[in-house]
């Protein structure tokens, strides 16, 4: 197993404006219960962090569901992307990267960020 990294270290990555980490309020219930914000860092307000968490949780549940259905449909197919560890949402001004361990970052699109390296760091955050 890899060594966990500190959550605050995400702010050292070029382009990261802020980050949130959260957990399910009732483990194993997923969308049936609202997520619980553990902490947020960077240049985002508590309200923005809460919205980012809620949107990322809902999108993540959808992405995971699609991935699992794809795998169940054709587990023998080597092109099926499963298991997932992250997803990336790009917009005009900023982007969001979320990992399935319930960590999300806001990116400034004016700054070039190595998304694969960022995800490699994000999945190492111990978020239990």
What pLDDT score does 77 carry? Answer: 76
Q: What is the pLDDT, as a whole number, of residue 13? A: 96
Q: For residue 1, is pLDDT > 60? A: no
Evaluate if residue 28 carries a pLDDT over 80: no
- Nearest by Cα to 98 from 10, 8, 3: 10
pLDDT, mean of residues 50-60 = 89
Q: How far apart are CA 110 and CA 92, in angstroms?
A: 10
Distances, alpha carbon 124 to alpha carbons 9, 72, 75, 90, in Å: 11, 27, 27, 22
- Residue 24: what are its φ and ψ, rounded to 5°? -70, 140
Using DSSP, how many helices (H) and how many strands (E) does the chain show?
2, 5
Average pLDDT, integer, range 58-71: 77
- Set out the domains of the chain in order of their start, with CATH numbers: 7-122 (3.30.450.30)
Cα 78 → chain centroid: 24
pLDDT for residue 29 = 60
Arithmetic mean of pLDDT, 40-68:
88
Average pLDDT of span 21-32:
74
Using one digit for the tens of pLDDT, what is the confidence trace for 107-120?
Answer: 999 999 999 999 99
Give pLDDT tens digits for 82-108.
677 899 999 888 899 999 899 999 999
pLDDT for res 32: 63
Please report, rounded to a whole number, the percentage of residues in the chain having pLDDT higher than 90: 52
């Amino acid at each position: 197993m890899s060594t966990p990294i500190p959550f605050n270290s995400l702010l050292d990555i070029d382009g990261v404006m802020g980050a949130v980490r959260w957990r399910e309020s009732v483990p194993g219930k997923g969308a049936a219960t609202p997520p619980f914000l553990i902490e947020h860092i960077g240049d985002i307000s508590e309200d923005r962090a809460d919205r980012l968490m809620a949107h990322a949780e809902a999108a993540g549940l959808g992405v995971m569901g699609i991935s699992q259905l794809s795998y169940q449909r054709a587990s023998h197919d080597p092109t099926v992307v499963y298991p997932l560890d992250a997803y990336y949402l790009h917009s005009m001004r900023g982007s969001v990267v979320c990992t399935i361990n319930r960590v999300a970052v806001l990116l400034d699109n004016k700054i070039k960020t190595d998304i694969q390296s960022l995800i490699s760091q994000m999945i190492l955050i111990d978020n239990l």
